[in-house]
């Protein structure tokens, strides 16, 4: 009898849950088009400036296209935006489209058939042509030949140097090669034993994404942009990789690296070298007005091994883009295509983006198009970023990028930074671990 | 009449039963199913892999570290939080008035966001913080709080102890309140010292409340996530890698929901067995001393 009652309760609960789930599905399938208006859900990056931008363009678009409504809402971070998106897809509540997607995450999603190949969208070629991004897009093709992400911005990551400290040491510009940089390290420690060249806790942290802003900046420069992984093959340039690790080892031996948690190490002058993205420039303008280009700090391409060309040095591109989810209905896909076409057919929208976010739009004509000319004249600190776009290498498009980049940290970069491993052994261990993961 | 009363009982219990079915039973069954697949929850296809995920998990460095780290946290966190809660409860007991107000004050950290408190601690312990500048300048002490394995584990345990002290002090205060003053008065007449009074009277009579607090605090060590995620990311070198951290990384960074579910099932078995053994040991301790 008791069992019967419990069973009936479980059944009742299951029916309730199923009923609730059914309500959710019903709402989604019927809700995309109502009274001739197609509604698309757009998830913007979880930062205020990008949300404001997308809300404004969505409103303008709907004014001109009353049959399409674009609902812009912030991407949920629970606790990361990637986790939020995965939960939404698994729970059947994915938006029609979203921004803020990096190539590695897109590779994971596309492998799971969660993304729509953009090249199958109506008018895709027109979008690329109108935005003048055909060359940029070439580097974005995925291993299966499709395009899943429309890159919105491309931050060619640069290194910042404390120019004031360099001048104290007798240098008027940042060093360009490894030996020049090691010489700076030596002089710095002689004059300021309490200062470091590179003070950054992330150097000793194996979290995957952190390798974009240290290892890959140096590796892309040393290997001239060599692909680290292609499909299921590890294709890393051993010679270049060992040089990078050897250079880091030399800095460690010179006591020029500091991996302790510290507050504003570059701004306070504790460290005199660090990776800088364009977003930092606006942050400094607000929080550290004393940081002035070519006075307090200078921007430079990554240092390269001795004997390499110091012009056109490759670097890492912190670049994210827009995707359309496979769960979108046909009407929503069409509406999304219309929206993308409308936004990117007008360079003024990219200018508005640039003005609001300081993130360089991923287009081929950023330094030549007159639309952006006055912006860069008024924001000289962002010019080096625009100029470096052609030399910026986007992240790998491998669905196992998280494992791969964790192994780079765990087996190679972090132990070398801490002086626990020699570069050759570090590269060998890392390669073995990555090849094991790629099998 | 009896029949009607039976249904009434089920009716009153149904909200909790429904809650337990939706949030415990269904996710548990779902996790068991996921753990024998290679599904990532997103892909339209998946395969059954049998016990492969379990075998891989048991061999992985992350899972092994999570197992040991939990017990290390337990060894540091439980004595800390018990000591702090007893001290707070004793202080509050000794207050002539506003006991409730002080208890609420100590309880507030329990309501504070783990993210916020972790960020504050991160700032306080940074290399160039006033605290570290002072320690270096005055005592020549240069401690890498979050970069050395034991210090990082201790810092995380300390934050969580700070968070839970007020809550446990509340339980212990009610335990203290239940001890009759007559017993203390009789002991005083017999010339019992304060030390003897604590060990021979307070502790035995406080045992039921202490038992609850001990079991609750041990349970906490199996669910540590926010502080570790914010402060150390599980490092340095897996020194603070907890079960939750490992499950999160595999499920949401590596998109291996099946594998992560296997880890979650292993974690729940370890939790259940560990708490069961500790509970039995505590009961034995109470019985041997004649406290229960």
In Å, how far from its chain's centre is CA A428?
A: 27
Peptide bond into A159 cis (omega under 30): no
Distance from CA of B200 to the nearest CA of A (A): 47
Phi first, then psi: give them for residue A87, nearest 5 degrees.
-65, -40
Bin A224: left if φ > 0, else alpha if -120 < ψ < 50, else beta: left
Shortest CA distance to B249 belongs to which of A412, A410, A429? A410
Task: Provide the pLDDT for residue A170.
Answer: 95
Distance from CA of B123 to the nearest CA of A (A): 7
- Judge whether B108 and B98 are in contact, CB under 8 Å: no
> Do the Cβ atoms of A270 and B235 come within 8 Å?
no
Q: Provide the 10 A C-beta neighbour count for residue A305.
A: 18
- A7 touching B, CB under 8 A? no
> Do the Cβ atoms of A205 and B235 come within 8 Å?
yes
DSSP state of A162: E
Q: Is ipTM over 0.85?
A: no
> Do the Cβ atoms of A79 and B253 come within 8 Å?
no
Query: What is the pTM assigned to this prediction?
Result: 0.81
Per the structure block, which two tokens stand in for A340? 């993308």
- A11 touching B, CB under 8 A? no
Per the structure block, which two tokens stand in for A26? 């019903």
Angle between helices B52-59 and B257-288 (to 10 degrees): 60
Which residues are A158's β-sheet partners? A276
Instruction: List, for residues A111-148, the tens digit of each pLDDT value.
Output: 889 999 999 888 888 898 999 888 778 777 887 889 99
- The answer for residues whose C-beta is within 8 angstroms of residue A254's C-beta and 6 or more apart is A182, A185, A186, A189, A197
Residue of chain B whose Cα is closest to the Cα of A94: B42
CATH of span B57-288: 1.10.3720.10
Q: Provide the 10 A C-beta neighbour count for residue A7.
A: 10
Residue of chain A whose Cα is closest to the Cα of B46: A112
CA distance A257 to A44: 37
Phi first, then psi: give them for residue A259, nearest 5 degrees.
-110, 10
Q: Which residues of B touch A416 (CB under 8 A)?
A: none
Of A14, A83, A263, the CB nearest to B252: A83
CA distance A333 to A325: 9
DSSP letter for each residue of A408-437: IIIIIIHHHHTT-S-HHHHHHHHHHHHHHH
- pLDDT tier at A28, thresholds 50, 70, 90: very low
- Domains of chain B by residue range: 57-288
Of B42, B125, B253, the CB nearest to A112: B42
Task: Provide the pLDDT for residue B292.
Answer: 72
CA distance B163 to A373: 54
- A193 touching B, CB under 8 A? no
Each residue's pLDDT expressed in tens, for chain B with a length of 292 residues:
555 678 888 899 999 999 999 999 999 999 999 999 999 888 888 899 999 999 999 999 999 999 999 999 999 999 999 999 999 998 988 888 888 888 888 888 888 888 889 999 989 998 889 999 999 989 988 888 988 899 999 999 999 999 999 999 999 999 988 888 899 899 989 898 988 888 888 888 999 999 999 999 999 999 999 999 989 888 888 899 999 999 999 998 888 999 999 999 999 999 999 999 999 999 998 888 887 7
- A205 touching B, CB under 8 A? yes
Please determine, for residue A61, whether its predicted confidence score (pLDDT) is greater than 80. Answer: yes
C-alpha triplet B127, B129, B134: angle, nearest 5°: 95
Of A13, A204, A262, the CB nearest to B22: A13
Please determine, for residue A19, whether its predicted confidence score (pLDDT) is greater than 50. Answer: no
Write down the H helix ranges in B95-147.
99-111, 114-124, 130-134
Mean pLDDT confidence for A360-377: 89
């Amino acid at each position: 009898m008791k069992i019967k009652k419990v069973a009936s309760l479980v059944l009742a609960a299951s029916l309730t849950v199923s009923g609730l789930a059914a309500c959710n599905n019903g709402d989604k399938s019927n809700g995309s088009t109502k009274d001739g208006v197609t509604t698309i859900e757009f998830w913007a990056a979880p930062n205020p400036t990008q949300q404001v931008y997308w809300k404004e363009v969505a409103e303008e678009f709907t004014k001109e296209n009353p049959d399409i409504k674009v609902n812009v809402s912030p991407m949920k971070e629970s606790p990361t935006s990637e986790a939020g998106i995965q939960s939404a897809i698994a729970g059947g509540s994915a938006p029609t489209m979203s921004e803020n997607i990096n190539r590695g995450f897109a590779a994971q999603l596309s492998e799971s058939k969660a993304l729509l190949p953009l090249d199958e969208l109506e008018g895709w070629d027109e979008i690329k042509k109108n935005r003048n991004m055909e060359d940029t897009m070439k580097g974005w093709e995925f291993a299966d030949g499709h395009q899943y992400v429309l890159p919105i911005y491309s931050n060619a990551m640069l290194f910042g140097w404390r120019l004031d400290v360099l001048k104290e040491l007798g240098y008027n510009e940042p060093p360009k090669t490894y030996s020049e940089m090691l010489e700076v390290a030596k002089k710095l420690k002689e004059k300021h034993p309490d200062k470091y060249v590179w003070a950054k806790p992330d150097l000793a942290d194996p979290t995957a994404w952190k390798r974009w802003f240290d290892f890959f900046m140096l590796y892309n420069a040393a290997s001239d942009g060599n692909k680290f992984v292609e499909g299921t093959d590890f294709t890393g340039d051993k010679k270049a990789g060992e040089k990078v690790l050897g250079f880091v080892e030399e800095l460690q031996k010179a006591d020029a690296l500091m991996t302790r948690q510290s507050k504003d190490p570059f701004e306070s002058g504790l460290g005199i070298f660090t990776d800088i993205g364009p977003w930092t420039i606006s942050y400094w303008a607000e929080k550290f007005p004393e940081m002035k280009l070519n006075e307090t700090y200078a921007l430079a391409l990554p240092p390269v091994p001795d004997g390499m060309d110091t012009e056109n040095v490759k670097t890492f591109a912190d670049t994210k883009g827009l995707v359309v989810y496979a769960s979108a209905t046909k009407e929503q896909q069409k509406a999304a295509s219309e929206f993308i076409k409308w936004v990117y057919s007008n360079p003024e929208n990219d200018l508005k983006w640039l003005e609001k976010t300081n993130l360089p739009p991923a287009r081929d004509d950023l330094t030549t198009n007159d639309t952006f000319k006055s912006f860069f004249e008024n924001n000289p600190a962002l010019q080096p970023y625009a100029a470096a776009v052609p030399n910026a290498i986007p992240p790998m498009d491998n669905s196992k990028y998280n494992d791969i980049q964790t192994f780079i940290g765990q087996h190679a970069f972090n132990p070398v930074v801490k002086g626990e491993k020699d570069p050759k052994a570090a590269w060998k261990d890392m390669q073995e671990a990555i090849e094991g993961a790629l099998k | 009449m009896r029949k009607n009363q039976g249904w009434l009982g089920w009716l009153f219990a149904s909200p909790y039963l429904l809650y337990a079915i939706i949030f415990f039973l269904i996710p548990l069954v779902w996790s068991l199913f996921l753990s024998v697949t290679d599904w990532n929850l997103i892909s339209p296809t998946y395969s059954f892999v049998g016990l492969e995920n379990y075998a891989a998990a048991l061999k992985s460095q992350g899972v092994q570290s999570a197992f040991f780290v939990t017990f290390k946290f337990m060894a540091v966190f439980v004595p800390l939080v018990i000591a702090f809660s007893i001290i707070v409860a004793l202080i509050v007991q000794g207050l002539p008035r506003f006991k409730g107000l002080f208890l609420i004050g100590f309880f507030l950290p329990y309501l504070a966001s783990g993210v916020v408190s972790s960020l504050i601690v991160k700032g306080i312990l940074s290399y160039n913080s006033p605290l570290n500048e002072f320690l270096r300048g005055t005592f020549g002490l240069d401690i890498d709080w979050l970069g050395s394995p034991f210090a990082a584990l201790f810092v995380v345990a300390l934050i969580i102890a700070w968070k839970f002290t007020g809550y446990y002090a509340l339980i212990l205060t009610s335990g203290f309140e239940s001890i009759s003053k007559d017993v203390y008065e009789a002991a005083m007449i017999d010339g019992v010292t304060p030390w003897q009074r604590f060990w021979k009277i307070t502790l035995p009579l406080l045992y039921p409340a202490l038992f609850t607090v001990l079991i609750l605090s041990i349970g906490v060590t199996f669910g540590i996530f926010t502080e570790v995620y914010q402060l150390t990311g599980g490092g340095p070198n897996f020194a603070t890698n907890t079960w939750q951290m490992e499950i999160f990384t595999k499920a949401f960074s590596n998109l291996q929901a099946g594998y992560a579910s296997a880890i979650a099932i292993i974690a729940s078995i370890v939790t259940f067995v560990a708490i069961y053994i500790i509970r039995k040991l505590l009961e034995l301790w109470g019985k041997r001393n004649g406290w229960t």
